Structure 1
Amino acid sequence: MLHALTISRARPPTLCSRYVRTHKYLTERAAGGPLIPNVFSAFNRFPAGAARAALTAVRIALRQFNPAKGIGLANTNLAFFAGRLFALWEADLPYAIRLTESGDVETIGRHDFDGKLGVSMTAHPKVDHRTGETFAFRYGRAPPFLTYFRFDADGGKKPDVPISSLSRPPFLHDFAITEKYALFVETQIGMDVWRSVFRGGSPLRSDPNKVSRIGVIPRYAADGSEMRWFHVAGFNPVHVLNAWDEEDGHRVGMLVPNVTSVDRALERFDLTHAQVEKVRVDLDTGMVYRVPVSTRNVEFGSVNPCYVGRKNRFVYAGIGDPTPKISGVVKLDVGDEMAGWTRRESAVACRMFGPGCFGGEPFFVAKDPGSSEADEDDGYLVTYVHNEINGESRFLVMDTQSPELEIVAAVRLPRRVPYGFHGLFVRESDLRRASGP
C-alpha cells in the first residue's frame, strides 16, 4: 500500500492510502484470498511448505494465476524517472502510478519500457540528476545471476549487460553509481528458496565461509567481463548510501550501513546493528580500506539527491531502537574535514522522537535543488512519526542545518501510516510533467 501526503499552498494537506493495483492484488482480490505465497514471509516446515508450493503450482496450471503477468507487491520503494512515477518491488517490473490533482493515487499499470525490460528490476535505481540518466539492475535464481542496465535521459532502455562472474544466486538489494562506475556488494547473504520450502523459515541465508566482494564495473560497460571484484571480509550492507570517484582517478569511495553480525540479524531482525562505514577501493592495487564513521545503530539513510554519484559530506539516517523501529534521526558529517579516514564519531545533529514514538525512513528535500550555489545541507528532513501511546501520527518537517534538527512544520494525520520501507519526495512541478499511460 502507498501512502501519499500532498502538501500545496492552494489547499489543506491531503493524505491518501491506496493499494497498488498489481496483477497479484487484482487476482487475489477477485479470488477472495491469497493465491501466491510471498517468499519473504517464509514457508512452514516440510511437509506444509512443500504442500503450499505444490498448491501454488496447481493454481498456475489451472490458470487461476499467471505469473508471467507479475507476482510483485510494488511496495518497497518509489522512484521518479523517465517522466513517470513508479512503485517498485525487486522481483517484478515497475508499476507506473499517478497522483491526481485531488491527491488520489491511481495505478497506471505494469511498465516494461516498450518490451525492453524483462522480468524484474531493483527497487533502488539510481538517478543522476546532472545527466538525467537512471541506472538499475536485476538479480535472480538462474544464470546470469546479475544483470546491469541503464536508461537514458528520455527514458530509453539501453541493452542489458549480463554479469556472469557470480557462481550462485546473491541477495543484491541495492547498489551505487559514480561518474565512472557502478558498484555492487556481494555479501555473505544469499537466496535459497527451496530450502525455505522444505525446511521452513526465510529464504535468506548467510554463509560464514564466504568472503564478501565489492564489484566495480564501468558505468557505461558494454560487457559483463568488465566487472572487477575486490574481496573484503565481514562486509554485509543491505543498503548503499552513496559512492564517488576520488580525485586521484584510481580510487572509488563508498558509504554504507554495514550489518556487523549478519547471522544474528537473520535470526532476529531486532538484533540487527548497522554502523555507517566509509569504504575506499584502490582499483590499481586491489586494496580495500574501511573505517567506521559512526557507532550508532543507523539504517534507512539518505543523502541530498543532487549528490548521488558524487562526493557528499552529509548523511541522514534513522536510529534503530531496536531495528526495524526508528526512534529518531541523525545527521552525519562524513566529509574528509570531519570524519576523514580515521575512526571518529561523525554525528553532528540528532532528534529523538520521544517515548513511544517511532518513525519511517527520513528523506532529504533540498530547498533549491536547481541552485549550484546552495549548501549541500540546505534543506529539510521529512518523515512520518507514530505515537504508540496516544495513537497520534504526524508528518514532520525538520531543518537540516539546525543542531537539533528543529521541527519547522508538522501535519497531524487522520490515521496511522504503518512503519514501512522506503519513500520519496516529488515536487509538484515534476508531478505536473509526469507522463501518462
Structure 2
Amino acid sequence: MSSVLTSAFLPKYCLKNQSVVFTSSSSSSSSSSSSPLPIIPQFKASSVTTTEDEETHQSSLVIVPTVRTSKGVSIPPFLQRRRIPHKEKNSVQDFDLGEKRRPFLPTVFKLLDELVCNFVDPPLRISFDPKHVLAGNFAPVGELPPTPCPEIEGSLPAALNGSYIRNGPNPQFIQRGPYHLFDGDGMLHAITVAGGEATLCSRFVKTYKFDLERENGSPVILNVFSAFSGLLPSLARCAITFARVVTRQYDPRRGVGVANTSLALIGRKLYALGESDLPYAVKLTPAGDLVTLGREETFGEEFMSMTAHPKVDGDSGEAFAFRHSIRAPFLAYFRISADGVKSPEVPITSLNQAALVHDFAVSKNFAIFPDTQIVIKPTEVLRGRPPVVIDRAKVTKLGIIHRRAEDDGEMWWVDVPEFNMMHAVNAWEEDGGDAVVLVATNVLQVENVLERLDLVHSSMEMIKIDLKKKKIIFRRPISAANIDFGVINPAYVAKKNRYVYGGIGDPMPKIAGIVKLDLSRQDDSAGGDCTAAKRLFGPGCYGGEPFFVAKDAENPAAAEDDGYLVTYVHDENSGESKFIVMDAKSPNLEIVAAVKLPRRVPYGFHGIFVPAAAPPSPK
C-alpha cells in the first residue's frame, strides 16, 4: 500500500502544486540517482486568521530519508514504527516531519483526506465549489474581540441597550473538496449598544467539532450536505471516518454539529443552535464578548440533536422543541421549563419516514409540525449521493398535537399538498379554540433548496385548520414577493399577531430589503397582498433576517409594531458593512440609525436581541 501511495498518487500530487519547497532532514542521506528518496506531502491547512479575510492555501513537500527492509523495499518514515519509551506507552505516536512533530494517525488521515479530494472526487459542481460558495461576502472572517464602532449616523435608541447577536456559517478551514453553505462553523457577530455607543465582536462557537479540527489543523468530521459527491469518494470518506472513530481520533457521542443556525434564550441561558447537534451555551460578557461554555447535554443523550428553532412562550417562559432522527422514531417532541429542565420526550411514531423537519410552530394549546418532500435516506450514500433528497411524489402534510401531550395518541395529520414549510412565523387559535392558524414560508421550487438557493422562491402563506373536522378551511399566500426569514414581535409568540416582517430574497440567500406584512388585510372570504411597508437596501447592498425590538417591552398597552427592526447590511460596492436600525411603525421602515462596522460581517442566518437587563449566563 505504501509503495502505491508513494509511486502512483504522490508524484501526481506534486505536479498539481504550484509552490514546492524542498528540504532535507539529513545531509548525509544514502539516497542517490539510482535510489530516489520518497516525496511526502506536508499539508498545512488553510485557516481563517484575525487579520485577513482572504485565505491562502499553502502546501510544501519534504524529502525525508527512507528505511529499507531486508528485501530492499523502501518504507517512508510516516509508516515506520519507532521504539516508544515505557513512559510514553499511552501516548499517540509522533513522527518527525520537517521542523514540527505531528501525531502519527491524524497526519495519515489528513493525507488520505487530501488524496480523496485530489484524485477521487469528481469535478466540483458550482454549488459545492468553495471558490464559488465562499465568494464575496460569503467568505469567512476571523474572530474579532470587542471593538468600538465610532462612526454612527443618527442616534441609537435607548431600547437597543443590549446586544444584537446574529449566527451564521463561517468555516475555520477552506476545504479543497466539496463545501456547502450550510456546513460552515458557527460564528456569532454581536453588536452591543450602551449609552448610544456601539461595540462589535465576532467569535466562533467553540463546538466539539471546531475544537477537534482546530487541534487537528484541518477538517475531520464529515459535512452532511457536501461530503457525498459520488460513489467512490463517498465510500472513501465513510471508510476514513469509520477508521477515525475506531482509532479514537474523535468521539461522535460528543456531537458532530457546527451550531451555525440561530440563537435562543432558554431557561435564562443563551444558546447557539444547529439542528445536527445539541445547543451550545454561550456567555455574553458585560464588555460585549462571547464565550462558549459548552454543549448542553441535559437536553439530550448521546448522538442526539435538537431543533435550531425552539419556540419560547413569553408569558410562561417555557420553551418547546423537537429533534428529528434517521432512525425510528423519526421525530420526538419535548418541553423545557422556564428553569431549563427538560420534560420527557414524546416520540411521534405516526411519522413513518425520516424527513428534514427544520422548523415548527406552537399556539397556546397545540404544536404544528410539517412533513415535507425533503426526506433523509441514509442508503443514498451507498449510491454516492447526499442522504438528504427531494421526493416530489410525496404528499406533504401538517401534524397537530397538544403542546402538553404525554404521548402521540392525539397526534393527527392533514394533507396540505405542495406545502414544503421551511420556516414557521407564528400560530394561534381562533373560533373559540376550534381552529388554528399557521403563518409560514413555503418553498415553491423545493428541488433547488439544497443546490441552487438562488433559484428558490419562498411564498409566505396563511393556513387555517379546522380542529374539529380535521381539514383545511383555507390556504392562501399573503404576498407575491420572494419572502423568507419572517419574524414577529417576540411577545406575540403563540398569540394572534397582526404584523410580520420578512426578508426579500433577490435572489436567496441574499436579502435585498425588508417587508412589513399586515395580516389584517386578509379575511376568510378573500385573499390579497398584505404588504404594508417596504425598505430596499439599495443597489449592491444586501442584509439578512430582521429582528424586532420593542420600544417598551414592559408596557402591555404598547402597539404591536411600536419598536425597531435591526439587521446587518453589507455594501458589495464599497466592501463596508453596517448595523442598521429601522422604525417598524413608520410607513417606509425609516432608518433611524446606522453604525459603520470596523470590518465586514458575512451573510448569515438567524439572530436574537438580548436586553442589557437580561441576566447573564451562569459561569
TM-score normalized with structure 1 length: 0.96
Change (3 A) 1:114 1:263: closer
Task: Give CA deviations for 1:83-113 in whole Å, capped at 9, x if unaligned.
Answer: 1000001111110001111111101111123
Change (3 A) 1:28 1:357: same
Alignment of 1:355-434 (within 5 A): 355-430=539-614, 433-434=615-616
Which of the numbers 165, 179, 184 marks the counterpart of 2:350? 165
How far, CA to CA, are the matches of 2:233 and 2:297 in structure 1? 35
Which of the numbers 263, 266, 270 marks the counterpart of 2:454? 270
What is aligned with 1:54? 239
How far, CA to CA, are the matches of 1:151 and 1:48 in structure 2? 41
Task: Give CA deviations for 1:235-259 in whole Å, capped at 9, x if unaligned.
Answer: 1111100000113321100001111
How far, CA to CA, are the matches of 1:131 and 1:21 in structure 2? 31
Change (3 A) 1:231 1:114: closer
TM-score normalized with structure 2 length: 0.68
1:140: Cα distance to partner? 0.7
What is aligned with 2:516? 331
How far, CA to CA, are the matches of 2:412 and 2:202 in structure 1? 43
Alignment of 1:227-246 (within 5 A): 227-246=411-430
What is aligned with 1:435? 617
Letter paired with 2:384: R
1:117: Cα distance to partner? 9.0
Residue ranges of structure 1 left out of the alignment (5+ in a row): none
Which of the numbers 485, 495, 499 marks the counterpart of 1:300? 485
1:124 equivalent in alignment to 2:309: yes
Residue pair 2:390, 2:447 contacting (<8 A) in 1 also: yes
What is aligned with 2:399? 215
1:415: Cα distance to partner? 1.0
1:5 equivalent in alignment to 2:191: yes
Task: Give CA deviations for 1:132-184 in whole Å, capped at 9, x if unaligned.
Answer: 11100000100100000001121111111111011110110000000010000
How far, CA to CA, are the matches of 2:617 and 2:389 in structure 1? 40
What is aligned with 2:251? 66
How far, CA to CA, are the matches of 2:439 and 2:376 in structure 1? 24
Residue pair 1:42, 1:203 contacting (<8 A) in 2 also: no
1:196: Cα distance to partner? 4.3
Alignment of 1:274-353 (within 5 A): 274-288=458-472, 289-335=474-520, 338-341=521-524, 342-353=526-537
What is aligned with 1:39? 224
- Decide which moves more: 112-121 or 277-286: 112-121
Identity of aligned residues (%): 51
Alignment of 1:254-265 (within 5 A): 254-265=438-449
Alignment of 1:36-115 (within 5 A): 36-113=221-298
1:4: Cα distance to partner? 0.9
Letter paired with 1:255: V
Residue pair 1:116, 1:157 contacting (<8 A) in 2 also: no
How far, CA to CA, are the matches of 2:246 and 2:463 in structure 1? 49
Residue pair 2:336, 2:343 contacting (<8 A) in 1 also: yes
Letter paired with 2:483: V
Letter paired with 2:190: A
Letter paired with 2:435: R
Runs ≥4 residues deviating over 3 A: 114-118, 264-267
Aligned length: 431
How far, CA to CA, are the matches of 2:209 and 2:191 in structure 1? 25
For residue 235 of structure 2, give the secondary structure of its aligned residue in structure 1: helix
Residue pair 1:315, 1:333 contacting (<8 A) in 2 also: yes
Letter paired with 2:233: A
For residue 194 of structure 2, give the secondary structure of its aligned residue in structure 1: coil
Change (3 A) 1:194 1:19: farther
Residue pair 1:93, 1:119 contacting (<8 A) in 2 also: yes
For residue 504 of structure 2, give the secondary structure of its aligned residue in structure 1: strand
For residue 613 of structure 2, give the secondary structure of its aligned residue in structure 1: helix
Change (3 A) 1:367 1:196: farther
- Decide which moves more: 187-196 or 324-333: 187-196
How far, CA to CA, are the matches of 2:532 and 2:302 in structure 1? 42
For residue 248 of structure 1, give the secondary structure of its aligned residue in structure 2: helix
How far, CA to CA, are the matches of 1:382 and 1:44 in structure 2? 38
How far, CA to CA, are the matches of 1:294 and 1:197 in structure 2? 42
Q: What do you get for the CA RMSD once the two structures are aligned? A: 1.5
Change (3 A) 1:115 1:198: closer
For residue 239 of structure 1, give the secondary structure of its aligned residue in structure 2: strand
Change (3 A) 1:9 1:87: same
How far, CA to CA, are the matches of 1:282 and 1:35 in structure 2? 49
For residue 315 of structure 1, give the secondary structure of its aligned residue in structure 2: strand
How far, CA to CA, are the matches of 2:458 and 2:482 in structure 1? 5
For residue 40 of structure 1, give the secondary structure of its aligned residue in structure 2: coil
The structure whose residues are more often helix, as a share, is 2
1:436: Cα distance to partner? 1.1
Change (3 A) 1:389 1:434: same
Letter paired with 1:278: M
For residue 608 of structure 2, give the secondary structure of its aligned residue in structure 1: coil
For residue 328 of structure 1, give the secondary structure of its aligned residue in structure 2: strand
How far, CA to CA, are the matches of 2:505 and 2:216 in structure 1? 39
Letter paired with 2:479: S
